[in-house]
Amino acid sequence: MAVLIRKLFVGYNFLFDELVDTRTKEWPLVAKPYLVMSMLALYLVFVFKWGPQWMKNRKPFNLERTLIVYNAIQVVACAYLFIASVRIWISKYKWICEPLDPTNSESALAMASLVYYYFLLKIVDLMDTIFFVLRKKFNQVSFLHVYHHAGMVMLTWGVATYLPGGHGTMVGVINTFVHVVMYSYYLLTVVYPSVKNSLWWKKYITQLQIIQFFHNVVHMGSIIFVPTCGFPRWTAALFLPQNTFMLILFLDFYIKTYVRKPKAKKDENGIVKKRENNDIQQLVRARYVEERTAVRS
């Protein structure tokens, strides 16, 4: 038993002390998996158990003012990260195979800081689900929604801990731009409820997300064909399956929603209504995309 404990300690020290980036390892939450895991555990327990139980006999909270402030903060934060990171990419980085710079140069430290801020912003994103629970929008708390938010926290924690810079940061650059558009839309729907009826907004936001995932697949896939790249090629093996899945998911939703529009049929009273969709898989996919693009009503 003592030998096993010693080996576990050595392995933990190797993974979360020796392998981590020396520039970020002392920053709050970085290189400390137990803190992030505890945070996500509390998040999951609240979302699936404590929250619903607490709200069972309560009326939904009116969070209109809170959502205005929250969405405004998201827009400003995402815009800042996008502009700051684009400046580095334009002046220092190249699109195909940008090596990880482990030095303490000004641009390398700046990018490491932006990666860390992006990680913190993904933690803030967990509030999306908390708001759903407090407003009793339990239908919005799907498996895919929670999986996406929790997964992004873990992913960005790993990037901030081990690879705070280089080729992979372009994914965050594109994502922050998309989130500027999305949270601006959410903000408008709270301030001006009439915007909720502007369905064409949703269509183009979905198109923007499809472009995002397509770009990410091509961008991260490009390092596979560059054997001398200074950025770890194994990261593509972790990244590509997830983003390919998301790309297929959004394409499927877009085609079924905007290209092959559901046919209408009449009910017993002769009133035209939309065709019911009994395909559970399609319903889950549609619900997830709506969570990412629909109005926070």
**Which residues are designated catalytic?**
148
Distance, in Å, from the CA atom of 141 to the CA atom of 130, rounded to the nearest integer, reads: 9
Task: Report d(CA 271, CA 42) in Å as an integer.
Answer: 47
273 phi/psi in degrees, rounded to 5: -140, 160
Q: How many helices (H) and strands (E) in the chain? A: 11, 2
Torsion 241-206-210-187 (CA) sign: negative
Closest to 124 in 3D by CA, of 201, 61, 69, 64: 69
Q: Left (φ > 0), alpha (ψ -120 to 50) or beta: where does 232 sit? A: beta
Sequence letter at residue 294: A
Q: Which long-range contacts (CB under 8 A, 24 or more apart) does 59-65 make?
A: 60/134, 60/135, 60/136, 60/137, 61/134, 61/135, 63/131, 63/134, 63/135, 64/190
Spatial separation of the C-alpha atoms in residues 292 and 129, rounded to whole Å: 12
